């Protein structure tokens, strides 16, 4: 690919040509002009000749694909960076292997005040149990260690870390020799992250942002909050992002408010809303998602409820009156019922139109019933969802089925039903719970483990690009049409096709006469597109080496 000149403070005028441009403005576009940080024109190669003399740079795409940059609608940036730079146990095959990696990590980080790790999942290990505290104490040489489960809703720790949290044994969720959940987990997480220096935190945040743009992600939504990180963590990230050209970072602060005055705190932090991981419940993997019926593998337990319908109603009403977004973390069906009932009460108080206009959002929204989906559509709630959860834990034998039984597990993450009902979708990763991987996310939605929940590649792609912008109230972005922000990525990919859940439709819609813009073939097992360049606001923020 022919390289443009180095970017200046004012974005240069650029003509991209001789490729494929994914745009609803022209399904056969091969060229695009970018001017003053926005898309100025999209069209055919022949028409591009008339622009060649009036631009600062001409980029020969050499057949590459240009798409809108992705938006990851749910990220924990510092934790993602710490996973990138620290101990990541994702994919470990056994408890023995995990302990070996913990031992090696501790030996290689002698100066760290607290060792940090992430990603264990005992449900995938032959031992079927997490590491015991005595095993962790031995592996770390008695040093403080905070090691989160893959869903980040529970953690195992060493005795030395417990000693840093006075009164821990009296908190809810404390277990003498098992994973900590609830209040106990939040307390040890705070102690662990308090030991991270500002320099370490900035390094981790920069690593996460760099990884994002290398994957064609132009924007991300940081889901921060007092039970997740800290105010300093959020403000530090927003400041760091403001000093860079990309990716764009939109912050959410998950703190419940009960009056419009409470929104001042949200605005002071630079957050767009009091949303994100405001916990109505926990997670399925940690048995803390709140269910109407007990867990299949933990009879008698229905999980944990953190907010009831009255608290949800108060928060939604306060945010609506203050003109900011509300949002909640809700996974189990009982938690989603609390959200729906609370939003309905707020709409009864303030009027349906005001609640719909606020574009409140729900994170994860996994265990939806048809009644929940109808309510999401009625109240214009954005479902901020993570298809990689299904790819990782879905199917008839994996964690969802272990926790819920096969039949209930098959109801999870019903993306097709959400789209049919008109519910706005925004896709994300919940990184580091699952990795930043936008094309993998689109693939997971299109090839859902439950066939009836599958959506077309085009619908999933739209939800991972334009959907993220719409979730923050922007309808003018995430798509390559004149006037839209010039946030785009250039990809090396194979043939472009149109993939939908019904193969009979796919067979005709790949015909050029259908006029439907193609996207890369995401059939499982095949290679995913490779990002060659990411551009945000007309500025190049990533270029693949040697391209």
Q: What confidence tier does 177 reach under pLDDT thresholds 50, 70, 90?
A: confident
Q: Under a CB-based contact definition with an 8 Å cutoff, are residues 208 and 77 in contact? A: yes
pLDDT tens-digit profile of 389-408?
999 999 999 999 999 999 99
Enumerate long-range contacts of 51-58, CB under 8 Å, 24 or more apart.
Answer: 51/15, 52/15, 54/13, 55/12, 55/13, 55/14, 55/15, 56/4, 56/5, 56/12, 56/13, 56/14, 57/4, 57/5, 57/12, 57/13, 57/14, 57/15, 58/2, 58/14, 58/15, 58/17
Of 293, 290, 316, nearest in space to 303 by CA? 290
The C-alpha atoms of residue 64 and residue 31 are separated, in whole angstroms, by 11
Counting every residue written for the chain, the total comes to 547
The DSSP-derived string for 235-278 is HHHHHHHHTSSSSEEEEEE----SSGGGHHHHHHTT-SEE-SS-
Tokens at residue 93, please? 């095959």
C-alpha–C-alpha distance, residues 78 and 431, integer Å: 10
- pLDDT at residue number 10: 77
Q: Is the pLDDT of residue 8 over 80?
A: no
Tens digits of residue pLDDT in 45-96:
889 888 888 899 999 999 999 999 999 999 999 999 988 988 989 889 999 9
Buried residues in 137-150 as b, exposed as e (16+ CB within 10 A):
bebbeebbbbbbbb
What digits encode the pLDDT tens for the residues 413-434? 999 999 999 999 999 999 999 9
Q: State the number of CA atoms in the 13 A half-sphere of 339 facing the CB.
A: 37
The sign one gets for the Cα dihedral 47, 53, 55, 57 is: positive
pLDDT at 199: 86
Mean pLDDT calculated for residue range 236-258: 97
Q: Residue 157 in contact with residue 136, Cβ under 8 Å?
A: yes
Residue 262: partners with Cβ closer than 8 Å, 6 or more residues away: 274, 318, 322
Using CA of residue 38, residue 41, residue 43, residue 48, what is the dihedral sign? negative
Q: pLDDT tens digits for 120-141?
A: 999 889 999 999 999 999 999 9
Helix/strand/coil (H/E/C) assignment for every residue in 40-80: EEEECHHHHHHHHHHCCEEEECCCCEEEECEEEEEECHHHH
Q: For residues 439-468, give the mean pLDDT.
A: 97
Measuring CA to CA, how many Å separate 182 from each of 89, 300, 303, 331, 479?
22, 18, 11, 15, 40
Cβ burial, residue 296 (10 Å; 0-12/13-18/19+): middle
Parallel, antiparallel, or unpaired for β 248-253 and 31-35?
A: unpaired
**Token pair in block for residue 264:** 């001042």
Residue 202: phi and psi, rounded to 5, are -65, -40
Cα distances (Å, whole numbers) of residue 258 to 185, 276, 356, 362: 26, 17, 19, 18
* 126 vs 505, more confident: 126
- Evaluate the omega torsion of the peptide bond into residue 348 and state whether it is cis, within 30 degrees of 0: no
Q: How confident is the model at residue 3 (pLDDT cuts 50, 70, 90)?
A: very low
What is the model's pTM?
0.90
Q: How far apart are CA 13 and CA 11, in angstroms?
A: 7
Confidence of residue 1 (pLDDT cuts 50, 70, 90): low
Helix, strand, coil in percent for the chain, rounding step 5:
40, 20, 40
Cis peptide before 432 (omega within 30 of 0): yes
Provide the pLDDT for residue 462: 97
Q: How far is CA 462 from CA 67, 79, 169, 454, 487, in A?
A: 11, 27, 47, 14, 14
pLDDT tens-place string over residues 33-48: 999 999 999 999 889 8
Q: How many CB atoms lie within 10 A of CB 478?
A: 26
Give bridge partners of residue 219 from the DSSP assignment. 71, 248
Across the chain, what does the average pLDDT equal?
93
179-193, 472-486, 491-505: which is most confident: 472-486
pLDDT of 505 > 50? The answer is no
């Amino acid at each position: 690919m022919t390289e443009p000149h180095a970017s200046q403070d004012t974005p240069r005028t650029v003509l991209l040509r001789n490729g494929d441009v994914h745009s609803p403005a022209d399904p056969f576009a091969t060229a695009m002009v970018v001017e003053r940080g926005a898309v100025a024109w999209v069209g055919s190669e022949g028409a591009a000749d008339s622009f060649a003399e009036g631009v600062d740079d001409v980029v020969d795409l050499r057949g590459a694909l240009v798409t809108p940059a992705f938006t990851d609608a749910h990220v924990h940036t510092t934790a993602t960076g710490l996973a990138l730079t620290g101990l990541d146990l994702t994919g470990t095959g056994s408890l023995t292997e995990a302990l070996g990696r913990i031992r090696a990590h501790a030996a290689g980080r002698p100066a760290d005040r607290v060792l940090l790790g992430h990603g264990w999942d005992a449900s995938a290990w032959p031992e079927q149990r997490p590491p015991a505290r005595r095993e962790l104490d031995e592996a770390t040489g008695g040093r403080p260690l905070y090691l989160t489960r893959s869903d980040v809703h529970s953690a195992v720790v060493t005795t030395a870390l417990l000693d840093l949290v006075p009164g821990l044994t009296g908190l809810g969720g404390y277990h003498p020799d098992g994973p900590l959940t609830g209040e106990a987990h939040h307390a040890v997480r705070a102690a662990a992250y308090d030991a991270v220096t500002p320099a370490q935190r900035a390094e981790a945040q920069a690593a996460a942002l760099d990884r994002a743009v290398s994957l064609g992600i132009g924007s991300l939504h940081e889901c921060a909050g007092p039970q997740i990180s800290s105010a300093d963590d959020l403000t530090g990230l927003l400041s760091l992002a403001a000093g860079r050209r990309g990716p764009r970072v939109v912050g959410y602060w998950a703190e419940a408010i009960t009056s419009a005055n409470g929104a001042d705190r949200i605005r002071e932090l630079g957050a767009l809303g009091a949303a994100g991981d405001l916990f109505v419940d926990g997670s399925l993997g940690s048995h803390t998602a709140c269910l109407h019926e007990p867990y299949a593998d933990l009879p008698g337990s229905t999980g944990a409820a953190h907010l009831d319908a009255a608290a949800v109603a108060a928060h939604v009403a306060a945010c609506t009156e203050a003109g900011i977004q509300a949002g909640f973390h809700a996974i189990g069906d009982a938690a989603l019922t609390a959200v729906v009932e609370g939003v309905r009460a707020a709409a009864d108080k303030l009027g349906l139109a005001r609640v719909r206009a606020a574009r409140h959002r729900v994170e994860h929204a996994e265990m939806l019933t048809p009644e929940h989906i109808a309510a999401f559509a009625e109240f214009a709630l954005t479902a901020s969802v993570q298809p990689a959860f299904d790819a990782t834990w879905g199917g008839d034998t994996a964690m969802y089925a272990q926790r819920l039984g096969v039949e209930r597990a098959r109801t999870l993450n019903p993306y097709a039903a959400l789209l049919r009902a008109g519910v706005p979708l925004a896709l994300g990763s919940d990184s580091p719970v699952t990795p930043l991987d936008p094309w993998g996310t689109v693939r997971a939605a299109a090839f859902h483990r439950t066939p009836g929940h599958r959506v077309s590649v085009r619908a999933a792609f739209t939800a991972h690009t334009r959907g993220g912008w719409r979730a923050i109230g922007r309808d003018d972005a995430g798509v390559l049409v004149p006037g839209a922000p010039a946030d785009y990525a250039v990809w090396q990919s194979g043939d472009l096709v149109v993939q939908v859940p019904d193969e009979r439709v796919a067979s005709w819609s790949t015909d050029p006469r259908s006029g439907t813009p193609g996207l890369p073939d995401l059939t499982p097992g095949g290679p995913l597109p490779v990002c060659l360049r990411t551009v945000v606001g007309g500025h190049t923020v990533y270029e693949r080496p040697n391209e």
